[in-house]
Structure 1
Amino acid sequence: MTLKETLKSDLTEAIRSSDKVVSGTIRMVLTAITNEEVSGKEARVLTDEEIITVLSREAKKRREAAEEFAKAGREEKAAEEKAEGEVIAKYLPAQLSEDDIKALIAAAVASTGAAGPADMGKVMGAIKPQIAGKADGSLVSSLVKAALAGGN
């Protein structure tokens, strides 16, 4: 069963159980997936890896929105965004720990021969396939910067 089929199946279950948060969130995610499929010159079917990329992007949007609502003192809206983010997180691969990410960065630095901040692109390019959907890009970026600056 593909990830998209799983989402559709879970949407049906959420509708049957009248779970408005889950059904609404899955609908939004499926819409984002469909939009991605029809964007570009010709329509295509996304692979599970591409769907994970869309899910990661949607989860990031929810995380950022929750932070902004919390800053503005709108706790109810922040809680809604967090709940939607948790629904999306169920469909993402298990997230890597900071130590796991640091280990991947160390291996990438060694394999690319990166020597300083100017080599950040090399390191990011080397680890991107390994972390896709499994770690927040901004966290990885800051850890790579720290590693290349001499800290670890």
Structure 2
Amino acid sequence: MSLKLKIEEEIKKAMLAKERDRLRALRAIKSLILLEETKEGGDKGISEEEELKILTKAAKQRKDSAEIFLQQKRQDLADLELSELGVINEFLPKQLSEQELEAELQAIIAEVGAEGPKDMGKVMGAATKKLAGKADGKAISQTVKALLNP
């Protein structure tokens, strides 16, 4: 079942349960998917990889917005963003823990034959493809730097 169909099913459930916050988040996700599908004038579907990118970007936006709202002492707005983030995270793959991320990155470093900081680009290219949706790009970058700079 595609992500779009899952979202539509969840929208129906949220409407029946009268869960306004969840419904708003689900509609936002569906809107992003529909915008991407119709982006280039065609009504072709989008791949799972593209859906994952859309969700990852939306999750990052919500997280960043929540942080800004908390800095501005707007707890009410931060709570809205965090509730939407929770709904988005339901559809993303499970995030890797720090230990799992480090183990994956060590395997990638060995695979590409990276020896030092100069090889960071090679490692990041392979890591972002392999770990898409499973780890934040910032966390990947920081861990790669730490592993390549002994």
Same fold (TM over 0.5): yes
Superposition map of 1:1-80 within 5 A: 1-40=1-40, 42-80=42-80
Structure 1 length normalisation: TM-score? 0.93
Deviation at residue 130 of structure 1 after TM alignment: 2.3
Identity of aligned residues (%): 37
Deviation at residue 38 of structure 1 after TM alignment: 1.6
Q: Deviations over 1:42-91 (max 9, x none)?
A: 44211222212111110110000000000011011111101110011011
Gaps of 5+ in 1: none
Alpha-carbon contact 2:63-2:82 (below 8 Å) kept: yes
Alpha-carbon contact 2:124-2:144 (below 8 Å) kept: yes
Deviation at residue 107 of structure 1 after TM alignment: 1.0
Deviation at residue 35 of structure 1 after TM alignment: 1.0
Deviation at residue 41 of structure 1 after TM alignment: 5.8
Classify the secondary structure of the residue corresponding to 2:91. Answer: coil
Distance 2:99 2:38 in 1: 38
- Deviates further, 46-55 or 10-19: 46-55
Structure 2 length normalisation: TM-score? 0.94
Distance 2:80 2:23 in 1: 13
Distance 1:39 1:143 in 2: 35
- What number of residue pairs does the alignment pair up? 150
